[in-house]
Amino acid sequence: KILGSFPDSLAADGALNIGRGRLIPTLGWESIWEGIVEWFGVPPGDMATVLPHLSNFPPHLRYNREALFRNASGGGSGGGQGTNWEVDWAVPANPQALSVARGDTVTFSWSGNHDVIRTVAAGCDFSGAVTLAPVSSGGTYVWSALADPGTYYFACSVGGHCGSGMHLEVTVLSAPGSTTQAMAEAQPKKHAEGDTTAPAPRKSPVPFPPPMGFRSQE
């Protein structure tokens, strides 16, 4: 709520609003914490320890970092002004593969009954998948590439749409030019012939503060 707006099903007229609160305490309260602890840096392998009841909830009640903070303006989560990539979310999807820079956005647009699911691997296995946009008759969903560099998979879970080509593979790259710039700075600078001036000593890099992480209880 601080960083953006509630996902649709958590809004005032959403499916999880029962009049006295945004979430049904006995059902979906941990669904938002998956996104929060992921944002804090908890790796997937520790999720069951941090949220021991998460596996009891169906994927459509769970929100990962991208889904929970998808409307956030730039800031703490690493957002920025990047390129927007349009995806015709149809059968089949067009395109079916993208390479984007961290900070870019991917906009899924569709007509007809479709959803947007983030799967853990390529293909149409929805085990452990997270619903980013529930089934709706026409709509759009914007995914912000705020995650670490790597490959992310998306599919439609309605009927046999995924098997008919309604899936997308997105590779998130490091920021453009960052690798080239780092290599250039690492090279020693050449001096003009006859220049006997000793190069200035290189300053030791200031260490970054350690990332906020999670320590499992032994």
Indicate the helix (H) or strand (E) that contains 84.
Answer: strand 84-88
202 half-sphere exposure, CB direction, 13 A CA radius: 7
Q: Cα angle at 31 between 154 and 66, to 5 degrees?
A: 40
Predicted pLDDT of residue 203 = 47
Ordered per-residue pLDDT tens for the chain, 218 residues: 445 555 666 666 666 555 555 544 444 456 667 777 777 777 777 777 877 777 776 666 667 666 666 555 443 333 345 788 999 999 999 999 999 988 888 999 999 999 999 999 999 999 989 888 889 888 889 888 876 788 999 999 999 999 999 999 999 987 654 433 433 444 444 444 555 555 554 444 444 444 444 444 44
Predicted pLDDT of residue 146 = 73
Q: What is the DSSP letter of 44?
A: G
Predicted pLDDT of residue 175 = 60
Predicted pLDDT of residue 41 = 75
Predicted pLDDT of residue 17 = 58
Task: List phi, psi (to 5°) of 126.
Answer: -95, 15
CATH (domain of 155): 2.60.40.420
Residues 63 and 10 in one domain: yes
Residues 31 and 83 in one domain: no
Residues 67 and 142 in one domain: no
Identify the domain boundary among 77, 104, 123.
77
Contact partners, residue 56, CB within 8 Å, separation at least 6: none
Q: What is the pTM of this model?
A: 0.49
Number of domains into which the chain is organized: 2
Q: Cα angle at 173 between 168 and 179, to 5 degrees?
A: 165
- Residue 196 falls inside a structural domain: no
Identify the domain boundary among 43, 77, 111.
77
- Residue 204 falls inside a structural domain: no
Task: List phi, psi (to 5°) of 81.
Answer: -85, 105
Predicted pLDDT of residue 204 = 46
- Residue 29 falls inside a structural domain: yes
Predicted pLDDT of residue 19 = 57
Domain range spanning residue 4?
Answer: 1-77
